[in-house]
């Protein structure tokens, strides 16, 4: 099996990569899209990717690594990450086919239990991959059945977890990016307990197989609430949790 992992530098994709490297004997291709936007988080994400790739090479096993860039810095809108990922996955699959005459079987994105991507976005991403794969067969979108982000962090261990970057809107203090501590990704991270072990735990994750997107069971709250409403309620829940934690400390 030949698998392509889209590595963003965040927790979910790092977790997916480590599981794939540790639990399968797939030929693994890792790809990072340097997705440049006006939020200026692309450089710190690239730094995170470089650290994660180096760590996994040295401590888990071999794989190949490529990267491409999309520059939306002058645009007010940035498009959907899943669609950009599918678009690039198609290019990578066709390039791989042109140079090796082999097809990539699947492309993998990371997604945690509290991710609110609507189900049709999986299909949109897959469609983009299909449309943009000029030669050979387009790979199929797979993901690990979603688990909560704390479990992902525990699986990774603190060394790798500390290399990942989550903030969507970093603040720059003397040109150095720092987490804003206000966006949903930051709040989600602030309420975590640090992983117990330093290195990946390698303990089996129950009820979380690597599945084609059609078989991934969506978290039920996503069906009853609109994406924006869900986002707000998650933000509120994360704030409450954070306040409670600060009281305890
Ligand atoms: Zn943030």
Selection from 59, 69, 81 nearest residue 36 by Cα: 69
User: What is the CA(134)–ligand 1 centre distance, in A?
Assistant: 37
User: What is the CA(169)–ligand 1 centre distance, in A?
Assistant: 5
∠ CA(24), CA(66), CA(126), 5° rounding? 70
Distance CA(38)–CA(201), nearest Å, equals: 36
Q: What is the mean pLDDT of each run of 10 residues along the chain (249 residues)?
A: 98 97 97 95 96 98 98 94 97 98 98 82 97 98 93 96 94 92 85 91 88 82 52 73 71
User: What is the CA(178)–ligand 1 centre distance, in A?
Assistant: 8
pTM: 0.89
DSSP of 143-166:
EEPP--HHHHHHHH-HHHHHH---
Give the start-end residues of each E strand in 72-173.
Answer: 106-108, 140-144, 171-173
In this structure, the number of other CB atoms found within 10 A of the CB of residue 175 comes to 5
Q: How many domains does one find in the chain?
A: 1
Task: Supply the pLDDT for residue 203.
Answer: 85
Distance CA(190)–CA(149), nearest Å, equals: 12
User: What is the CA(187)–ligand 1 centre distance, in A?
Assistant: 7
The crossing angle, in degrees rounded to 10, of helices 11-23 and 42-59 is 20
Task: Supply the pLDDT for residue 228.
Answer: 58
User: What is the CA(93)–ligand 1 centre distance, in A?
Assistant: 33
Instruction: Give me 57's structure tokens.
Output: 């090479």
Contact status, residue 200 vs residue 157, Cβ threshold 8 Å: yes
Distance CA(106)–CA(133), nearest Å, equals: 13
User: What is the CA(28)–ligand 1 centre distance, in A?
Assistant: 30
What lies within 8 Å, CB to CB, of 72 at 6+ separation is: 35, 36, 37, 38, 78, 79
User: What is the CA(41)–ligand 1 centre distance, in A?
Assistant: 10
Task: Supply the pLDDT for residue 125.
Answer: 97
Task: Supply the pLDDT for residue 85.
Answer: 98
User: What is the CA(167)–ligand 1 centre distance, in A?
Assistant: 4
Q: Provide the β-strand partners of residue 186.
A: none
Domain range enclosing 145: 2-248
User: What is the CA(242)–ligand 1 centre distance, in A?
Assistant: 14
Distance CA(18)–CA(28), nearest Å, equals: 11
User: What is the CA(183)–ligand 1 centre distance, in A?
Assistant: 4
- Indicate the helix (H) or strand (E) that contains 105: none
Task: Supply the pLDDT for residue 112.
Answer: 85
User: What is the CA(103)–ligand 1 centre distance, in A?
Assistant: 38
User: What is the CA(38)–ligand 1 centre distance, in A?
Assistant: 14
Task: Supply the pLDDT for residue 226.
Answer: 55
User: What is the CA(234)–ligand 1 centre distance, in A?
Assistant: 14
User: What is the CA(195)–ligand 1 centre distance, in A?
Assistant: 20
Distance CA(210)–CA(55), nearest Å, equals: 23
The backbone torsions φ and ψ at residue 187, rounded to the nearest 5 degrees and listed phi first, read -60, -40
Task: Supply the pLDDT for residue 222.
Answer: 47
């Amino acid at each position: 099996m030949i698998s392509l992992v889209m590595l963003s530098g965040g927790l979910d994709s790092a977790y997916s990569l480590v599981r794939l490297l540790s639990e399968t004997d797939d030929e693994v291709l890792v790809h990072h899209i340097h997705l440049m936007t006006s939020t200026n988080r692309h450089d710190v994400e690239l730094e995170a990717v470089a650290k994660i790739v180096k760590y996994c090479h040295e401590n888990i096993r071999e794989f190949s690594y490529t990267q491409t860039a999309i520059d939306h810095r002058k645009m007010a809108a940035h498009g959907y990450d899943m669609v950009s990922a599918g678009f690039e996955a198609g290019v990578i699959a066709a390039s791989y086919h042109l140079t090796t005459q082999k097809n990539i079987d699947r492309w993998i994105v990371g997604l945690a239990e509290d991710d609110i991507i609507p189900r049709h976005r999986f299909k949109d991403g897959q469609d983009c991959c299909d449309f943009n794969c000029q030669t050979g067969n387009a790979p199929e979108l797979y993901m690990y059945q979603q688990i909560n982000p704390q479990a992902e962090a525990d699986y990774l261990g603190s060394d790798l977890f500390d290399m990942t970057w989550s903030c969507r809107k970093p603040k720059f203090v003397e040109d150095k990016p720092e987490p804003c501590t206000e966006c949903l990704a930051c709040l989600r991270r602030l309420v975590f307990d640090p992983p117990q072990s330093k290195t990946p735990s390698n303990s089996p994750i129950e009820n979380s197989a690597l599945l084609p997107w059609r078989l991934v069971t969506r978290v039920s709250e996503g069906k009853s609430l609109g994406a924006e409403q869900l986002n707000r309620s998650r933000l509120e829940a994360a704030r409450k949790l954070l306040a409670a934690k600060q009281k305890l400390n």
